[in-house]
């Protein structure tokens, strides 16, 4: 239930980003604006958000904003090293944010399960 609410809020963030971009770049086509807003979400918000979800006690707005530098640091660093190891940087846009999101979700799921187990005990 809580997760559903958070996802709705993230959806709202995407819409607001798109609106802000459209206002600032009003000569730009809707499709470019939408793609750019999606890129901000995909590169700078969602990966970090999945990581900082661990600190659920923080308000949603705080988590959404702090997820930006967290995403930037994780995605940028991982991209640098993976490329050095031979994984071409041109594939990172599709793969890297997804992997970080999945790792974040898995870690949070394990934390939640551990907490539930502790409650039952």
Partner 1 sequence: MLNSESKKTILTGIFLVFLFTLLLYVSAGKLLNRSIEHSFPYGYLASDPFFHQTRTQGIKDMGSYSTQPFYTAAGFDDVIGAYPPLMSHLAIIFSGTAGLEIYDGIYLLVFLLVVFSALLMYITIEKYSQPVAVLASSLSVFLFSKGLYVPLTWGNWPAILGSFFIIAILWALTSLELKNSYILIAILFTGAALGHTSELVFILMAITLWLGAELLIQRKLLKDSIKALFKGGTIAVILSSYYLLIFYKVWVPAEQQKLFHVFRPEMWGTPYFTLSAFGWTLLLIALGLIIAFAPVKNSKLTFLSFALVILGFANWIGMDFRALQLRFFWPLYLSWFFGLGAYFIVRLITKSKAFLVSMAVSAVFLIIFASTVPNVQTNPGLMLSQEHWDSFMWFKGNTPLNSSVLFFYGDGYNQNSILRNTGRVPYQANMNSMTKMIYTGNVSRYMLIKVIGNDGTRLPYRKGLFSYGFHAVEGFQEEIERDICGFDYYVIDTKTGFESMLPFIQFNLFLRNSFLANNMSEVYSNSIVSILMNNAKGGGCFGA
Q: Which residues bind partner 1 (CB under 8 A)?
A: 16, 19-21, 23-28, 32-33, 35-36, 38-40, 42-44, 51-52, 54-55, 57-59, 61-62, 65-66, 68-70, 72-77, 79-81, 83-84, 86, 88-90, 92-94, 96-97
Cα Dmax for the chain: 60
* E strand intervals along 6-108: none
Taking a C-beta distance cutoff of 8 angstroms, is the pair 66, 47 a contact? no
Distance CA 67, CA 111 (A): 19
């Amino acid at each position: 239930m809580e997760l559903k609410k958070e996802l709705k809020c993230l959806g709202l963030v995407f819409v607001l980003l798109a609106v802000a971009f459209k206002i600032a770049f009003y000569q730009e086509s809707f499709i470019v604006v939408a793609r750019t807003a999606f890129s901000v979400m995909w590169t700078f918000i969602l990966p970090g958000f999945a990581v900082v979800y661990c600190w659920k006690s923080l308000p949603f707005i705080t988590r959404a904003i702090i997820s930006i530098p967290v995403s930037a640091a994780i995605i940028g660093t991982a991209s640098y090293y993976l490329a050095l190891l031979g994984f071409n940087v041109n594939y990172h846009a599709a793969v890297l944010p997804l992997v970080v999101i999945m790792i974040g979700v898995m870690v949070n799921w394990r934390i939640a399960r551990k907490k539930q187990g502790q409650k039952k005990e």
